[in-house]
Amino acid sequence: MEQGLSSQSRLILTGLGALLLSAAVLSIAGIYLGSVREVLALIPGLMVLLPSIIHIRGSIAGVFACRLSSAMHLGEFSIDFEEGSVLGDNIRASFVITILIAFVIGIFSYAASRIFGYPVIGVTDLVLISVVTGVIAGAVVMGITLLIALISYRYGLDLDMIGAPTVTTSGDLVTLPILVLTATFVMLLSPWIRLALGGIAVAAAVAAVVYTQRRPEGIEPIVRESIFLLIPLSVLGTLAGLTYAFNLDALVTIAAFLILIPPFTGGLGSIGGILGSRLSTGMHTGELNPSFLPERDVVHHFIISYLYTLILLPLLALIAHIILLFPISIR
C-alpha cells in the first residue's frame, strides 16, 4: 500500500515538475510574441493563423507521444524505424498529418478572415507560410518528442506524465519564431515566386494523401483517426485567431495579454494532455473501463488535473507580472 502511494506521489510530482518547467520556458515564447507584435500587425492574417499553427503542432506531437507511451505500457515499443514498426509508422504518419493539417489551417485562416471581413494576404501566401512553418517546426518538435520518448524508454520514466508538457512547450517555443521568420521571408519574395512555391505546397498536400492511401495497414488508420480530430480543432483555433486579430490593438496596448497567451494556452493544453494520456493508457492496459459514469480512478485523474491548474495559473500571472517589471524585455 505504501509502495503504491509512493509510486503515485512520484508520478504526480513528475507531472507537476514538467508543468512548472513548461510554464517557465513558455514565458519566453510570450516575451517573444510581445516583441514581434509589429510583424503581426503588418502581415494581415498572420495573427489569425498563429494559434492554430502553434497549438496543432503541439497536438500532433502530443498524439505521437501518447501512442508511443501506450505502446511502451503494452510492451509493443521497440527502437525500430522500419516500415511496419510502431515507431516507424508513427513518425511517418505524423509528418503526413503535419503537411495535411498545415494546408487545411492555411485555407481555414484565409476563408475565416474573408468571411468575417478581416484584412488578409492572398490564400496562396497564407497556405505557403502555414505549410513551410508546419514542416520545419514539425521536424524539430518531432525530433524533440522522439528524444524524450527514447529517454523515457531507456530510463523507465512514465511518458504519460512528461510527454504532453514537453511537446507543448517545444511546439510553442519552436513554432512561433519559425512562423514569424517564414512569414517575413515569404512576403519579401516576388509574387511569381510565391505563387510557384504555393503550388509546390499544394502538390505536397496531394502527395501526402496519395502516400497515405497506399499504406492502408500501418499509416492510414493513424492519419485517418488524427485528421478527424485535428480538423475540427483547426476550425476552433482559427476562430481563436480571429478573436486575437480583431483585438490586436488591445493586446499590443496591454502587453501582459500577449505575454500570457503562450504559457496560458500551452499550460492548460499540457494538463489536458497529461489527463488524456493517462486515461488512454489506462484503457489500453485494461485498468480503466469506458463508462457513462466515471470510475473512481478516472475521477482521481481529473482531481489531479484540477490541482495542477490551481497551482499553475497563479504562477503564470506572477511570471507575467515579474516580466512586466522589466519592460525592456518586450520592446
In a domain, residue 1? The reply is no
In a domain, residue 2? The reply is no
In a domain, residue 109? The reply is yes
First to last CA, the chain: 54
In a domain, residue 240? The reply is yes
* Mean pLDDT estimate for the chain: 78
**Which DSSP string do the residues of 226-254 spell out, in sequence order?**
HHHHHHHHHHHHHHHHHHHHHTHHHHHHS
In a domain, residue 283? The reply is yes
pLDDT of 1 > 50? The answer is no
pLDDT of 328 > 70? The answer is no
Question: 45 by DSSP, 3-state: which?
Answer: coil
Residue predicted with more confidence, 309 or 83: 309
- 44-102, pLDDT tens digit by residue? 888 888 888 877 777 787 777 777 777 776 776 677 677 767 777 888 888 888 899 99
Tell me how many domains the chain contains. 1
pLDDT of 2 > 70? The answer is no
pLDDT band (50, 70, 90) for residue 4: very low
Amino acid 90: pLDDT: 81
Amino acid 46: pLDDT: 84
Q: List Cα–Cα distances, 208 to 95, 131, 258, in angstroms.
A: 9, 12, 35
Amino acid 44: pLDDT: 82
pLDDT band (50, 70, 90) for residue 326: low
Range of the domain at 199: 7-330
Rounded average pLDDT over 248-271: 70
Residue predicted with more confidence, 103 or 323: 103
In a domain, residue 186? The reply is yes
Do 103 and 127 form a contact (C-beta atoms < 8 A)? yes
In a domain, residue 47? The reply is yes
| C-alpha span between 331 and 329 (Å, rounded) | 6
Residue predicted with more confidence, 80 or 311: 311
Amino acid 329: pLDDT: 46
In a domain, residue 59? The reply is yes
**CA angle 210-142-126, nearest 5°?**
60
